[in-house]
Amino acid sequence: MVLFKKKEDKKEKTRAEKIAEALIDKVGKEKVDDEATKLYFQGVRDFDEQMEILAKKYGVEIS
């Protein structure tokens, strides 16, 4: 009897994850963390929304 099945399929990255990677490459991890933290304390709790705002701010475009 199998209780837990090992996940074999790779999950596709979300748009927000792709934006986060591009932002980290462009401005650095610490800067992205700081900016996301500021947005969090300004009331933007959603990760996807935070990444969209930061993408516009730093001119990062993901298709």
pLDDT digits (tens, 9 = 90+) for 22-38: 999 999 999 999 999 99
Q: Give the pTM.
A: 0.78
Tokens coding 29: 């991890």
Domain assignment present for residue 4? The answer is no
Average pLDDT taken over every residue of the chain: 90
Domain for residue 51, yes or no?
yes
In a domain, residue 37? The reply is yes
In a domain, 28, yes or no: yes
Distance separating alpha carbons of residues 5 and 19, to the nearest angstrom? 31
Asked whether the predicted pLDDT for residue 16 surpasses 60, the reply is yes
Total domains in the fold of the chain = 1
Evaluate whether residue 8 is within a structural domain: no
Q: Left (φ > 0), alpha (ψ -120 to 50) or beta: where does 43 sit?
A: left
Q: Which is nearest to 39 in space by CA: 63, 61, 58?
A: 58
Asked if residue 49 belongs to a domain, the reply is: yes
Domain containing 19 equals 15-58
Position 1 pLDDT exceeds 60: no
